[in-house]
Chain A
Amino acid sequence: MQRVCTKILSIVGNVLAVRAEGVAYEELAQVSTQHGSSFAQVIRLDKDMVYLQAFQGSRGISTGNEIKFLGHPMRVGFSSNLLGRIFNGSGEPRDGGPSLSDNMIEVAGPVVNPAKRIIPSNMIRTNIPMIDLFNSLVESQKLPIFSVSGEPYNELLARIALQAEVDLIILGGIGLKYDQYMYFKSTLEEGGALSRSIFFIHTASDPIVEGLMVPDMCLAVAEKFALDGKKTLVLLSDMTNFADALKEMAITMEQVPSNRGYPGDLYSQLASRYEKAVDFEGAGSITVLAVTTMPGDDITHPVPDNTGYITEGQFYLRNGRIEPFGSLSRLKQLVNKNTREDHRAIMDGMIQLYAQYKDTEEKRAMGFRMSDWDNKLLKYGKLFEDNMMDLKVNIPLEKALDNGWKILAGCFDPHETNFRTELVDKFWPR
Chain B
Amino acid sequence: MTKHKGEIIAINGNMIQVRFKGDIIQNEVGYVIKENQRLKSEVIKIEGDIAFLQVFEITKGMKVGDKIEFSDKMLSVQLGPGLLSQIYDGLQNPLPELAAKFGFFLPIGVELNAISLTKKWKFKPYAKKGESVIAGSVLGHVHEGIFKHKIMVPFYMMDEYIIDDIALEDDYTVEHTITKIKDREGKTFNVAMAFDWPVKIPITAYKEKLAPAEPLSTRIRVIDTFFPVAKGGTYCIPGPFGAGKTVLQQLTSRYAEIDIVIIAACGERAGEVVETLREFPKLKDPRTGKVLMDRTIIICNTSSMPVAARESSVYTAATIAEYYRQMGLNVLLLADSTSRWAQAMREISGRLEEIPGEEAYPAYLESRIAQFYERSGIVKLHDGSVGSLTIGGTVSPAGGSFEEPVTQATLKVTGAFHGLSRDRADARKFPSVDPLESWSKYRSAIPQELVDSAKQILFKGDQVGQMMKVVGEEGTSAEDFESYLKSEFLDAVYIQQNGFDPVDSATSTERQEYIFTFLVKAILEREFLIKDKQQARQLFYNLRQIFIDWNYATWNTQQFKQQQEKIESLLKEESYAKSMH
Contact = CB atoms under 8 A, between A and B. Distances in A.
Contacts of A117: 270-271, 274, 277
Contact of B549 (A21, A271, A420): A420
A110 B426 contact: no
Contact of A116 (B104, B343, B356, B361): B104
Given A268-B303, A371-B534, A355 B106 contact: no
B269 interface: yes
Given A73-B60, A305-B399, A373 B534 contact: yes
Interface string B529-556: 0000110011001101100110010000
B399 A109 contact: no
Interface of B: 9-13, 59-65, 87, 95-96, 98-99, 102-108, 240-242, 267, 269-271, 273-275, 277-279, 300, 302-305, 307, 337, 340, 343, 346-347, 350, 353, 356, 359-361, 396, 398-401, 426-428, 469, 472-474, 492, 500, 533-534, 537-538, 541-542, 544-545, 548-549, 552
B356 A265 contact: no
Contacts of B64: 21-23, 45, 47-48
Given A268-B307, A302-B398, A114 B62 contact: no
30 contacts: A21-B64, A22-B64, A23-B63, A44-B10, A45-B63, A48-B64, A110-B108, A111-B304, A112-B270, A113-B104, A116-B104, A118-B274, A119-B274, A255-B350, A256-B350, A258-B361, A259-B359, A264-B343, A264-B360, A268-B307, A280-B104, A310-B269, A333-B500, A344-B500, A348-B428, A352-B427, A355-B428, A359-B469, A366-B472, A368-B473
Contacts of B500: 333, 344
Contact of A113 (B59, B105, B426, B533): B105
Nearest to B279: A119
A313 interface: yes
Interface in A315-335: 325-326, 328, 330-331, 333
A300 B304 contact: no
A259 B60 CA distance: 27
A179 interface: no
Given A258-B360, A344-B500, A416-B538, 11 more contacts: A25-B59, A45-B10, A110-B107, A111-B105, A113-B105, A258-B350, A268-B304, A268-B307, A271-B267, A312-B269, A371-B534
Interface residues of A, number: 80
Nearest to B107: A110
A66 to B, nearest CB: 21
Given A308-B242, A310-B269, A363-B469, A275 B303 contact: yes
Nearest to A422: B549
Report which residue of A267, A328, A351, A368 has the largest number of chain B beta carbons within 10 angstroms of its beta carbon.
A267
A309 B303 CA distance: 10
B242 A115 contact: no
A46 B10 contact: yes
B11 A25 contact: yes
Nearest to A307: B241
A59 interface: no
A327 B157 CA distance: 55
